[in-house]
Structure 1
Amino acid sequence: MRIIFENASLSFGSPSSRQVALHPLSLELAENRVGVIGLNGSGKTSFARLINGLARPSGGRVTLDGLDTVEDEAAVRAATGFIFQNPGHQIILPIIRDDIALGLKSRGLTGQAVQERVDAILGRFALEGLADRRPHELSGGQLQLAALAAVMVTEPKLLIFDEPTNQLDLRNRALVKRTLASLQEQAIVISHDLELLADFPRVLLFHEGRLAFDGSAADAIARYHEIAEC
């Protein structure tokens, strides 16, 4: 998808106590993989939430393939999937299979059509053996894959990941990294896990609500170290 920010900004609060989360930003993204890095509170998540309409710009506009995230909110939401930092908060039904089916049912699918789509996505992520288990019975990596499957079953064109390897051990981190690498869908990945983004063609570095660097992973990470060590 072609993602365009046109002088888009995000702020909160009343005019007398306005807090700026993201200063006016203009850029275009079309790469299949885009990494997003920065210190806590730098504007990373605000940037991501503007893309899929979870937040509305305070100024300017954001479009995805020509769809305005405010005027065409429903179409934008249908075209994007957001995988939150804590997948346990994203899975709301007690059985994994039922949770994956929920997104399809909310779109009006029923019966065999739902079953076929759920079975296909379970197979894609090798989750067949976990389909009838409860979220608390899964490892961190398995839970992350289950949350991803619940998003992917609705066939979004763009995936946004918020810290997908946060608090995972080495085995589960490797599982998530392999899964990310295998995805054909366009992905934007917010992460403090710099190694995860090392081979991304483009990485954005945010600092104090502004885009501080936009370029290769190696150069962005080097600049990030400079900022972090100041």
Structure 2
Amino acid sequence: MPDPSSGIEIASASVRLGDRAVLRGLNLRLTERRIGVLGRNGSGKTTLLRLIAGLIAPDSGTVRVDGFDPFADRRAAVAALGILFQNPDHQILFPTVEEELAFGLAQQGLPQARALARAREILQAEGRTHWASAPVSTLSQGQRHYLCLLSVLLMEPRTILLDEPLAGLDLPTQARLARRFAALPQRLVTITHDPASLQTCDRLLWLEAGQIVADGPPQTVIPAFTAEMARIGAQDADADLAG
């Protein structure tokens, strides 16, 4: 049986893509309600999120979420975990809003008619009843992002993984989504290269070249990260990212 109190447990986990080590021997136990993962592009953040989600398996080591292996037990993963990708177009599969919302519920075993009814119920609760039969292609970037979030929330996961959730959105949309994230009861794991968006996290991890550089409260980790990024930005070359 799932044990939500055990949280996310990663033991000696490494991931290679081709001949490159993307994650290197990570050891983490994450039980906090709001967890942030901070790092530059290419630091391994998205790979870590995919590892926790069970979309990939570690080349060595183990991953457990609420006591189960998310890669091996996909049924448990679908029930326990939701993931919101940076680009909603990488997540949306169906032509209309109600079909997209119903898909995850159908994956959980709900009959299609009931899944569609639940989709319409959440749209009504959100004041977006008129979205139901609308083509997804008519929604703005921010609206598609919100649709993906509603799809995740309908499945009632215990943990939601957020991949750069505010990137590329205008300021009003960022504010609306940030308020919604803050009010959610689920555990949130948010990855980003933007330290400002992680200031209210309970715990912050700084990932660099596939390893944890710092692990602690935002008021400790963010100043160290910001200072190091300023130091790197003052250099004329970015050769340190090669290899």
Note the C-alpha offset of 1:124.
4.8
Give how far 1:11 is off.
1.0
- CA deviation string 1:142-178 (max 9, x = no partner): 2211011112212211110101111111111111111
Identity %: 35
* Residue deviations 1:170-194 (CA, integer Å, cap 9, x gap): 1111111111111111111112332
Q: Equivalent residue for 1:190?
A: 191
- The answer (yes or no) to whether the contact 2:36–2:191 under 8 Å persists in 1 is yes
| Distance of aligned partners of 1:183 and 1:53 in 2 relative to their CA distance in 1, 3 Å threshold | same
Shift of 1:93: 1.2
1:7 aligns with 2:8: no
Matched, 1:223 2:228: no
Structure 1 position 112, deviation (Å)? 4.7
Question: Amino acid of the residue matched to residue 9 of structure 1?
Answer: S
Residues 173-216 of structure 1 deviation map (CA, whole Å, 9 limit, x = unaligned): 11111111111111111123322211111111101111111111
Say yes or no: does 1:129 pair with 2:121.
no
TM-fit CA distance, 1:123? 4.1
Distance in 2 between residues matched to 1:118 and 1:155, nearest whole Å: 13
Alpha-carbon separation, structure 1, partners of 2:101 and 2:228: 40
CA shift in 2, pair 1:123/1:24, >3 Å: farther
Instruction: Check whether the contact 2:82–2:161 (CA below 8 A) recurs between aligned residues.
Output: yes
Equivalent residues in 2 for 1:19-58 (5 A)?
Answer: 19-58=20-59
Contact persistence 1:99–1:150 (CA under 8 A): yes
Secondary structure, counterpart of 2:56 in structure 1: coil
Task: Note if 1:78 corresponds to 2:79.
Answer: yes
What is the CA-CA distance between 1:21 and the residue it aligns to? 0.4
Root mean square deviation of aligned Cα: 1.7
TM-score if structure 2 supplies the norm length? 0.86
Contact 1:10–1:23 (CA under 8 A) maintained in structure 2? yes
Contact preservation (8 Å) 1:201, 1:216? yes
Q: Does structure 1 retain, via aligned residues, the 8 Å contact 2:9–2:28?
A: yes
> How far apart, in 2, do the equivalents of 1:118 and 1:151 lie?
11
Deviation at 1:114, TM superposition (A): 1.6
Spell out, residue by residue over 1:59-104, the C-alpha distance to the aligned partner (whole angstroms, 9 max, x if none): 1101011102343343123311111110122112111111101122
TM superposition score normalised by structure 1:
0.91
Q: Give SS of 1:102's match.
A: helix
Please show how residues 136-155 of structure 1 align to structure 2 within 5 Å: 136-155=137-156
Q: May I ask how many residue pairs the two structures share in their alignment?
A: 226
